[in-house]
Structure formats: C-alpha cells, structure tokens
Structure 1
Amino acid sequence: MTRSPLPFRLSAIAATALAAALALTACSGSSPAATPTPTSTAAASTVSGELTVFAAASLSQAFDQITTAFEAENPKVHVNPITYDGSSTLATQIIEGAPVDVFASADQKNMDKVTQASLAGDAPVFTTNVLQIAVAPGNPLKVKDLASLADPGLKLVLCAPAVPCGNAAKTLLDAASVTVTPASEEQNVTAVLAKVKAGEADAGLVYSTDVKAAGSAVTGIAIAGADKATNKYPITVLKASKNAEAATAFQEFVLSDKGQKILKDLGFGGA
C-alpha cells in the first residue's frame, strides 16, 4: 500500500488553516475600526463666539427655548442673556448705537426704522401673533368683548401706541368703535400682563401667547376679528454685527423647522 508521507499531509493541513486565518484577518482585523461620521449639527458646527440678541418682550419664552436649542447645536456659540423689551424701545437703542447682532421685532413698523437707517439687511417674517383680553382668573367682572372695556368702572391697561401691542390694540378698538380710557400705557406687553396678574388692573390687551404662557394666573378672552390686527414678526442681522456668521446661523435656526416648532408649540402663528 502506498501512503502519502505524513509530513506532507501535516503541511497541507497547516497551509489550509493559515489561509483561512489570513482570509479572516483580511475581512475583520487588519484595518483599524472606521471612525463614525458625525451626523449631528452640533458635531459638525464650526460657528463660534458670542452673540447679542434684542427681541420683542412677547418672544421671551420662545427665544429662551430657541437659544437653548441653538446652543445645543452650536456648542461653540454663547448667546448672551437676551434683551427683551418693547420693539420701539429696542429699535431706538439700535439706532442710537447699541451693539447688537440680531434684532427680532414684534412688528414691521419698528423693524423698518432699523432697516431704513441702513443698519440691517433682509428681515424675513418668522411668526405672527394676535391679541386677547387678559383678565383675572375666572373673569370675575364678566368681561365679554372689547365693548366691555369701555366700562368706566373697569381698570384697563394697554401698551403704549408706539409699541406693537399698543398699535394693534388701537386698530382693534377703532374698528369696533370702542373708546377707552386706560389707567396706564406700558412700554411692553410683559408689563401689561404683570399688572393684570398682580391685580393692579382688571383687564389688559396682550398677545394670545402671553395668555397661554401665564397659565392659570389669568383668563384669556378671544377677540372677534383679532386677525385684523395680526402682528408679523421680522428678524434681521445687523450690518455692524461683530459675529455675522453666528448671527446668520441664529436667524436661520429661528426660520428652520426646529425653530418654527418651538414657536408653534407656544401658540404663535405661522409666517
């Protein structure tokens, strides 16, 4: 009987095993593991630096949330505490030289003051809002509509006419042929709401979003035809911005689906 030499058989087996091992190594272990490609905006963002934003008082809750989301996606950017006030007050400060990167107004009129002074470029509208009547919880004085506000025994607070909420209030009152004598005229809508919440006023005209944000602290009364005085909110990047890249990124975030969802969830209308 002829037999294959044992050394040859062992060599063949060893060669087969070595080939299999090399094949396995080539498939799985010879190259370093691939580094995952960043998929989040935060990982990919190269925007950095500080950002100064001026925004209408009625945007405080929305822009606080937008800022948190924006910084999460752009971790190298620090948004300074936002200055919230009446749009007319903010526009005046910008025209007088306040160092600002982004301005969000509650109306077109006050934005126009800034753009017509050649201090800013495009100012797209990013959201809308309408007024409601804010009264004490449960509406103890039974305020029904704008006509109810003419009652001389009712203490009414409005925004000043130069402020967007004051201009909108005047438009609605004039359209309804209602004449009122406000106890005070405030420089922003936050001040109007604060007086109603504190019991210093029986009623005030504020934005529907302010009523929603106040929760059980006030009762809101819808105004028939409120859409006749819909406020449109534009946002712009100032030409003198010290961080135009970050300012533009913030503006774009406000206009993005994520920014729009935050606004919608808080009761703002679509642009």
Structure 2
Amino acid sequence: MIRTARRTRRALQAAGAGAAALLALSACSSSGDSSATTSDSSASASSADEPSGAVTVFAAASLKESFTALGENFEKAHPGTKVTFSFGGSDSLAASITGGAPADVFASASPKTMKIVTEAGDAVGPPATFVRNQLEIATLPGNPDRIGSLADLTKSGLKVVLCDKTVPCGAAAQKALDAGSLTLEPVSYEQDVKSALTKVELKEADAAVVYRTDVRAADGKVAGVEFPESADAVNEYPIVRLKGADNADAADAFIALVRSPEGQKVLTGAGFLKP
C-alpha cells in the first residue's frame, strides 16, 4: 500500500512538471508571435506612410525648370511615384481648377490668382508662400538696342512684349511701370511669361518684361537688364493641396519637398528669392 501511494505521488509530480513545461513553452511561443505581429504591423504602417502613385501639379510657367528638377528628385526619393506637371499662366490654371480639372497641387505666381482657388473652396488649408520673384528686362543677346532702364522701353520703334495684365508677370510689370510713372504700348500681350520670353528668343521682339528666373533659364539666348522699379513689384508664390486630390499623401509630400531646404536650394539656384 505504501509503495503504491509513493508511485502515485511520483506520477502526479511528473505530470505536474510536464504541464508546467508545456505552459512555459506556450508562453514563449505566444510572446514570439506577438513580437512578429507587432513587427509586421509596424512595417505595414511604415509602408502606408510612404507616398506612391501619380500626383498632378498645376504650376506657374515660371516654375517650369525648377519644378521639373524637383519632380525628378521626388520620384527618385519615392520609388513608385510619378509627378505630372501642367505649366501655364496662373490665371488660366486657376480657372481650370475651379472648372473641375483634376489636380492635386497648385503653385501660383501670385496670391491674387491663388485667391481664385481658395475663394471657390478648392484648396485644403491656407496656402503657403514658398518663394518670391522679381522682374527683369530680357533683351536680344548683347543688348544691341542699349536698353539700360525701364524708361528705355518707351523709345519709339522699339518692339516690346509684356505678359497680359491678368497674368501675375503682367500685373507686376504694370505695377513697375506705374511706380516709374511710365506708359508703354507693347506690340503684344502674352498669356504667360514663357511666351513673352520666346518672342525675344525668336527675335520677334526687341525686349520683354519677364522674371529674372526666366532670363537665367534662357541660358544665354537673351540678355538681362535689372531696373530699380522691379523692387516695387516683387511677386510672392503660394502653394496648396487641392480639395478632392486623388493622391493627398503624395501631394503633401511634394509640397513638403518644395518647402524643404533641398527644395529651396533648387529654387534659389534658379534665381528665386526666399519667402
């Protein structure tokens, strides 16, 4: 009887030890699964934060060279993204946006044209000024007409081109002319600053009032002449994400790049002024 009782007690102890070992093993396994799940969850969240897909940017014509470079940088930094640009006169772009044209980001050459979009309720949050730009006179290479001031553009027989007054560069040119109490009758009004510059590049005009960034981008095809009245007509450039953007994450990421030190380096290198 005593031996039987001892055997029974030993069996129960062994069973208890085995159960404890199984519980410990189960706990370890459960802990490992939890860590793996947490790790997988973190990786998934990190992947979700990374912008991907296409983003459409409507931007003022004067931003063409610098934004194209920034778009390439953005695509390299975020594999799987594609930036598509539509460059033009800010007023035309604003009208397209309020008319329902699909876009994710709008970068305007003036607060006035940006206001068209914000007042229509097509912007998300307040626009942010990211650069400023100043006017310059573009002349034929070598400046054969010896243009040295804004007043020289009023000389008889000189063919001068301006941006339309509804376009930011045209409104700024008019402001500069008013500051100098000058009256100028151009041979044509162009719908964006690049069109005005092209008239000089093709020698269809002797001079045009454009932004200094456009003179620099022309890479020697025109000469630039600074004039003091331009200080009274410096344009601020605002940028904003658009309401109903198809790719809000990528839109926000592109805007962040434009405003970042890297973006500012590209923009100031193109001749833009800091905000």
- 2:171 counterpart (167, 190, 193): 167
Q: Secondary structure at the match of 2:70?
A: helix
Deviation, 1:225, is 3.2
The equivalent of 2:235 in structure 1 is: 231
SS at match of 1:216: coil
Extract structure 1 runs of 4+ deviating beyond 3 A. Answer: none
Q: Is the 8 A contact 1:45 1:73 kept in 2?
A: no
Structure with greater proportional helix content: 2
| Distance in 2, Cα, partners of 1:237 & 1:208 | 27
One-letter amino acid of the structure 1 residue matched with residue 120 of structure 2: A
Distance of 1:257 and 1:143 partners within structure 2: 37
Q: Does 1:86 align with 2:89?
A: yes
Please give the TM-score of this superposition, normalised by the length of structure 2.
Answer: 0.81
Unaligned runs of 5+ in 2: 1-46
Tell me how far apart the structure 2 counterparts of residues 44 and 246 of structure 1 sit (CA, whole Å).
11
In 1: Cα distance, 2:95 partner to 2:210 partner? 22
Deviations for 1:64-87, whole angstroms, at most 9, x for unmatched residues? Answer: 00001111111121112x110000
State the 1:240 CA deviation: 1.1
Q: Distance in 1 between matches of 2:69 and 2:82?
A: 14
1:47 alignment counterpart = 51
- Matched to 2:146, the amino acid is K
Aligned to 2:108: 105
Contact 1:56/1:84 (<8 A) preserved: yes
Q: CA RMSD in A?
A: 1.2
**Could you tell me how far 1:49 is from its partner in structure 2?**
1.1
In 1, Cα distance between equivalents of 2:225 and 2:158: 15
Three-state SS of the structure 2 residue aligned to 1:217 is coil
Partner residue, 2:255: 251
Q: Identical aligned pairs, as a percentage?
A: 47
Contact 1:192 1:206 in 2 (8 A): yes
CA displacement at 1:213 relative to structure 2? 1.1
Task: Give a deviation string over 1:199-258, Cα, whole Å, max 9, x none.
Answer: 000000000011111121111000113121101000000011011111011111100111
Q: Aligned pair 1:185/2:189, yes or no?
A: yes
- Residue 144 of structure 1, CA deviation: 1.3
Q: Could you say what secondary structure the match of 2:157 adopts?
A: coil
Deviations along 1:96-155, whole A, 9 cap, x unmatched? 000010000000000011011110022100001000000001110111111111112000
In 2, the alpha carbon distance for the partners of 1:75 and 1:206 equals 36
1:152 aligns with 2:156: yes
Q: In structure 1, what is the equivalent of residue 271 of structure 2?
A: 267
Structure 1 counterpart SS, 2:239: strand
The range that moved more, 201-210 or 211-220, is 211-220
The equivalent residue for 1:95 is 98
Q: Contact 2:179–2:229 at 8 Å: present in 1 too?
A: no
| Equivalent position amino acid for 2:117 in 1 | V
How many residues are aligned here? 228
Q: How many angstroms does 1:45 deviate by?
A: 6.5
Q: Which residue of 2 aligns with 1:8?
A: none
Distance 2:119 2:269 in 1: 33
Query: For residues 96 and 50 of structure 2, what CA distance do their matches in structure 1 show?
Result: 31
Q: Secondary structure at the match of 2:123?
A: coil
Q: Which runs of no fewer than 5 residues in structure 1 stay unpaired? A: 1-42
Change (3 A) 1:44 1:137: farther
Match of 1:15 in 2: none
